[in-house]
Amino acid sequence: MDAVVTLKQGRLRGRVEDGVAVFRGIPYAPAPVGAALYGEPGTPPTWEGVRDAAEFGPTAPKPPYQPPYDQLLADPDIPGEEFLNLNVWTPDPGGSGLPVFVWIHGGAFRNGSTAVPTYDGRAFARDGVVFVSLNYRLGVPGFGLFPDAAPNRGLADQLAALAWVQENVAAFGGDPGRVTVAGESAGAMSVTALLSMRESAGLFRQAVTQSGAGQGVVRAQDARLVIGETAKLLGVDATARAFAELPPERVVQAQQTVAGELAVHRDAERFGPSVVAAAMAFPPVVDGAFLERPPLEAIAAGAGRDVTLLTGTTTDEQRLFLVPSGVTGFVDAQALAALAGPEAAAVYGAARPDDSPGDVLAAVLTDRYFRIPSIRMAEARAGGPARTFMYEFAWRTAHENLGACHALELGFVFDTLAAPATGGLTGGGAPQELARRMHGAWVRFAADGDPGWEPYDPVRRPVMVFDEPASGVVNDPRGDERRLWD
């Protein structure tokens, strides 16, 4: 069965699937071809007649995940130039006033797309929310810093998509005044950056950051070092004009080489200390103009103070990065003390007497890269007019000894545990009741800004811990470990 809506761009035909109308592959900006790949996103294209929106549109140029992560994380690759596109799931295209949930995918700013099956938006639409997911430029085209191109083009894409939502979501039954923007990992870091920017004012009134806060940005001088290394590999000048003359697949290959060398060598002189600290080659850049200063600084100064926030992490984030790669097996007590510091090694180790030194290191780095930045963002907003809610996802999968690792919560938030792609992390047998509770909390937050527990404050520090067989609020979980970072 078909569903047809009329946008400013033209008429659009979607499909009704399981009682939900779905419109896929809608362009929110022109295809970024040639020099436009390094330019600002343009005006949404128009068309004659009725455009078909049954299938996902192209995905941004990106490398495949390498083993063993290609078995854990789905990342479909759909060729084509018109990859600045988005998708809409709606319970009622003829309705009005429905809450809107806009999803920004993760993938370290170099992978991911809206076509990942775990991100299917039908459960949100089933429960009365208009769900939108968007693609954006990744890697060098999205975040490489050039002297002859605007910075942070991937963030500019996200702003353009949010502007499209404001202009068009009413055609799908959504209320442009009830928009929640959400993301996980790099998507959450994107949301944090957007929250800190003046350009995002009026585009959303609520935000969700899952496993990402203000930590994923780098200094301009360091970003120039990275693009210089990439240009050397390609044998061209470090300019957008020179890069635009190359096939995108060559640029992707070079950026993958640079990212691999960064991961192995962590050379601050070669890549810059902020890039080494971020552990990503091409994240957003604090350029002083578009992204004026680090997001947490801007938020502490009042940016995004009127936006209600839901933020949190999983309990064992870093296990996704350290266990499949085998790193945890190589860490002994001496290495733990050297990498974590003697005090952290002692405090975290005492709380985990049966864990190996590698497992203890994973806990330390989980806090370093994920939990503490999320807490800092909540603290920075304390006393402001909009509330902040915190959560922790604690259910541990037995699959591959991953625990409650990074990205494991996604199938629960989306209520897509049955999707085969979700099983790459859950391994099957994941508790559907927990998905019902967690997805329900996200739906309630989208609807009225209250997920169902008390807001965060820096005295009691209440955190909703999602686990099975029960979930509940815990005040200041693992407070002794948190205080080590003060």
pLDDT at 486: 94
Q: Please give the average per-residue pLDDT across 84-90, as a whole number.
A: 99
pLDDT at 467: 98
Who wins on pLDDT, 297 or 428? 297
CA distance 10 to 293: 39
Would you state the structure tokens that stand for residue 3, as one six-digit string?
């569903």
How many structural domains compose the chain? 2
pLDDT at 481: 98
Fill in the amino acid letter for 84.
L
Residue at 476 is within a domain = yes
Closest CA to 309 of 323, 295, 290, 293: 295
Catalytic residue at 185? yes
pLDDT at 240: 98
pLDDT for residue 148 is more than 90: yes
| Same domain as 295, residue 263 | no
Which of residues 278, 299, 326 is at a domain's end?
A: 278
Q: Which residue's entry shows tokens 């820096």?
A: 458
| Same domain as 311, residue 372 | yes
| Same domain as 424, residue 345 | yes
pLDDT for residue 428 is more than 90: no
Q: Are 75 and 62 within 8 A, CB to CB?
A: yes
Q: How buried is 264 (Cβ within 10 angstroms: 0-12 exposed, 13-18 middle, 19+ buried)?
A: exposed
| Same domain as 187, residue 89 | yes
Residue at 199 is within a domain = yes
| Same domain as 206, residue 107 | yes
pLDDT for residue 1 is more than 90: no
| Same domain as 131, residue 12 | yes
Which of residues 230, 246, 278 is at a domain's end?
A: 278
Q: Please give the average per-residue pLDDT across 181-197, as a whole number.
A: 98
Predicted confidence (pLDDT) per residue in 227-244, tens digit: 999 999 999 999 999 999
- Band (215; pLDDT cuts 50, 70, 90): confident
Which of residues 278, 299, 320 is at a domain's end?
A: 278
- Band (185; pLDDT cuts 50, 70, 90): very high
Residue at 29 is within a domain = yes
Residues 6+ apart with CB under 8 A from 264: none
Which structural domain, as residue segments, surrounds residue 273? 220-278
Would you state the structure tokens that stand for residue 44, as one six-digit string?
């949404």
Residue at 283 is within a domain = no
Residue at 284 is within a domain = no
Please, what is the average pLDDT of the chain?
A: 97
Q: What is the CATH number of the domain that holds 112?
A: 3.40.50.1820
| Same domain as 242, residue 127 | no
**Active-site pick, 133, 185, 274, 471:** 185
- Band (147; pLDDT cuts 50, 70, 90): very high
Catalytic residue at 406? yes
pLDDT at 104: 99
Predicted confidence (pLDDT) per residue in 88-124, tens digit: 999 999 999 999 999 999 999 999 999 999 999 999 9
| Same domain as 159, residue 36 | yes
pTM tops 0.85, yes or no? yes
Fill in the amino acid letter for 314.
T
| Same domain as 254, residue 111 | no
Number of other CB atoms surrounding residue 166 within 10 Å: 16
| Same domain as 199, residue 80 | yes
CA distance 174 to 204: 13
**Active-site pick, 184, 229, 317, 481:** 317
| Same domain as 462, residue 326 | yes
pLDDT at 452: 98
Q: Please give the average per-residue pLDDT across 303-316, as a whole number.
A: 98
Predicted confidence (pLDDT) per residue in 377-394, tens digit: 999 999 999 999 999 999
Would you state the structure tokens that stand for residue 190, as one six-digit string?
């994107």
| Same domain as 228, residue 128 | no
**Active-site pick, 406, 439, 471, 481:** 406
Q: Are 407 and 388 within 8 A, CB to CB?
A: no
Q: What is the 3-state secondary structure (H, E, C) of the chain?
A: CEEEEECCCCEEEEEEECCEEEEEEEECCCCCCHHHHHCCCCCCCCCCCEEECCCCCCCCCCCCCCCCHHHHCCCCCCCCCCCCEEEEEECCCCCCCEEEEEEECCCCCCCCCCCCHHHCCHHHHHCCCEEEEECCCCHHHHHCCCCCCCCCHHHHHHHHHHHHHHHHHHHHCEEEEEEEEEEECHHHHHHHHHHCCHHHCCCCCEEEEECCCCCCCEEHHHHHHHHHHHHHHHCCCCCHHHHHCCCHHHHHHHHHHHHHHHHHHCCHHHHCHHHHHHCCCCCCEECCCCCCCCHHHHHHCCCCCCCEEEEEEECCCCHHHHCCCCHHHHCCHHHHHHHHCHHHHHHHHHCCCCCCHHHHHHHHHHHHHHHHHHHHHHHHCCCCCCCEEEEEECCCECHHHCECCCCCCHHHHCCCCCCHHHHHHHCCCCCHHHHHHHHHHHHHHHHHCCCCCCCCCCCCCEEEEECCCCCEEEECCCHHHHHCCC
Residue at 341 is within a domain = yes
Q: Please give the average per-residue pLDDT across 212-233, as a whole number.
A: 96
Residue at 89 is within a domain = yes
Closest CA to 157 of 165, 145, 169, 147: 165
pLDDT for residue 189 is more than 90: yes
Residue 194, CA atoms < 13 Å, CB-side half-sphere: 36
Closest CA to 408 of 390, 422, 418: 422
pLDDT at 214: 86
Closest CA to 155 of 288, 275, 290: 290
Closest CA to 432 of 457, 377, 469, 380: 469
Q: Please give the average per-residue pLDDT across 197-223, as a whole number.
A: 96
